[in-house]
Amino acid sequence: MKYYIIAGEASGDLHGSNLIKAIIEQDNDAEIRCWGGDLMQQAGGTLVKHYKELAFMGFLEVIMNLNAIFKNIKFCKQDIAAFKPDAIIFIDYSGFNLRIAKWAKEHNFLTNYYISPQIWASREGRIEKIKATVDHMYVILPFEKEFYEKKHNYPVHFVGHPLLDAIDNRPVLNESDFRSQNNLDPKKPIIALLPGSRKQEVQKMLSLMLSLTNDFADHEFVIAGAPSLEKDFYDTFLNYANVKFIQNKTYDLLSISKAAIVTSGTATLETALFKVPQVVCYKANWISYQIAKRIITLEYISLVNLIMQKEVVKELIQDDFTKQNLKKELASILNGKERTEQLSSYNELIAKLGGSGASSNAATLIIENAKNA
């Protein structure tokens, strides 16, 4: 059968690649076109558009790039119509994907949504659009099933979280070799810096993160470079003492880190699954923040706290994201009781996620639903 998959960010590329592998394993005749990245292409998809061309962060940035967005939407519809897939699969990236879903449903394509738009966080009214345009929804967070089915009477499939698959499928790392290959100090404990995957957020977050290097001179700070950004972009941030840079090896880095400072997003959950104590940070431009705080209804912004429904990791948001606060919170997770408490809560978190197999579970359901359509 023919599958058309649309992901618009680095995390979607990761989850899309594992889904592609699972589909190909279960459907030997699978033909897959995709919007995503290098991982989805390597997994066996024919890459139509790279997410590097699609990632616009925040309300203001989206408005400034509306022309490019509308061109991409038009092209996507034309490409789907020409390909005639048996199933379309949307991965997160809701602003774009829900528009395509509406068109796809009108043109009688089977629509599948893997990794739900976060309507439980903001703009809950989008549920009506989802009900009207998405034939099958596959959710990855345990509270999402109850949200959709009990609150909105919309049946969904809980398949587990794909990050568990991504982490379980990693080869074992030799820490000594990794440190040597990346010019890391053989003995200093590592503080991983995960400043985000988009230029705008990295520019807002990274300088303040790096301002702590002198305060923790007995540790080595290592920037996790995002696959969506070129190495040259980070060069202006590498003038600090005691700082190293590693690109496209975030999981390897987390596996040997003592603590992490993380920009809110999927990376907060990834850090927790590697059992690395963390401080979560976020700062947007003033206009985007003012809009966001008026429509986002959540008590927390990190996936760790949302899943656990309590404050497990400290969140420093907007005006709270200061050097003084960051220094205090980092010190507490390096040596304080907060470190022990976070690690204990991580074990509970992993149990809540329901075990590995999300990619395979989703692939099985998608294939079955396409056959029965």
Where does the chain show beta strands of DSSP type E?
A: 2-7, 31-36, 46-50, 87-91, 111-114, 136-139, 157-158, 190-194, 220-225, 243-247, 259-263, 278-282, 314-317
**Per-residue pLDDT, 64:** 63
Which domains, and CATH codes, for the chain?
A: 2-160+357-372 (3.40.50.2000), 168-352 (3.40.50.2000)
Would you say 248 and 180 are in contact if contact means Cβ atoms under 8 Å apart? no
- pLDDT (tens digit, 9 = 90+) per residue, 35-50? 999 999 999 999 999 9
- pLDDT (tens digit, 9 = 90+) per residue, 161-194? 999 988 888 889 999 999 999 999 999 999 999 9
**Per-residue pLDDT, 286:** 47
Share of residues in the chain with pLDDT > 90 (%): 72
| Tokens representing residue 14 in the block | 């990761």
**Per-residue pLDDT, 289:** 46
The angle at the Cα of 329, spanning 326 to 334, to the nearest 5 degrees, equals 120
Give the residues of the chain that fall short of pLDDT 50. 286, 289, 291, 294-295
Helix (H, G, I), strand (E, B) or coil at 57: coil
**Per-residue pLDDT, 292:** 52
Buried b (16+ CB within 10 A) or exposed e, 321-347: beeeebeebbebbbeeebeeebeebbe
**Per-residue pLDDT, 152:** 97
Would you say 36 and 44 are in contact if contact means Cβ atoms under 8 Å apart? no
**Per-residue pLDDT, 58:** 53
Chain centroid to Cα 84, Å, comes to 29
Distances, alpha carbon 305 to alpha carbons 264, 268, 274, 298, in Å: 11, 9, 16, 10
Query: What letter would DSSP give residue 151?
Result: I
- pLDDT (tens digit, 9 = 90+) per residue, 234-287? 998 888 778 999 999 999 999 999 999 999 888 999 999 999 999 999 886 545
Q: Is the pTM of this model over 0.85?
A: no
